[in-house]
Amino acid sequence: MRRISGKVIYGATAVGIFALIGGFAIASISLTSSTQNASGNYVSSSGGVTGVTYTSTVLGATTNPAPSASTGTGGAPQAVVAGANAFCASASCTAGDFAQVVTYTFTVSMTGSIMITIQVTASAGGGTSTLYLKQAGSAVAGTIVLTWDVGTATSTLTAVTLGVQQCSGATCP
């Protein structure tokens, strides 16, 4: 039987501790190129609306042309139509800027209005946005793509929090 020295055990323990600490630092995502994909470990979502499913989130570049800033309210939500619907979730979106892109899928079973809240925590370009959406006319199926423009400067994204709930009246609870 081979004996392991105390120095080896102490060294292995130190390496293990540094690996754990390093893992916490890696949990933040630095936006330094337009080709990084989100790993999903920093995205949390809550709420549930029948017919609406959170399907993906990606770090990438804002599309060209960029989607328009969201303008809906609780009393006058924006209409979603069959197929792809694109909304800018931050104050404005500029083509080519780094972006957090969130996709929801909705089905014909979605009815009425919904409120989607997105909170992005980053060293630059973060904040909170609330979007009010509703189906246009008869029930249709499609996707809702929400773009959060983080900007052109290098930033560290630490959290994305999503919420969706049914909405009614002038405001949502």
* Beta bridge partners of residue 101, listed in sequence order: 58, 147
pLDDT in tens, 75-84: 889 999 899 9
pLDDT at 27: 40
CA angle 122, 123, 128 (to 5 degrees): 40
| Rg from Cα positions in the chain | 21
pLDDT in tens, 16-64: 554 444 433 334 445 544 333 444 446 778 888 888 888 888 888 899 9
Give the number of other Cβ atoms within 10 Å of residue 76's Cβ.
12
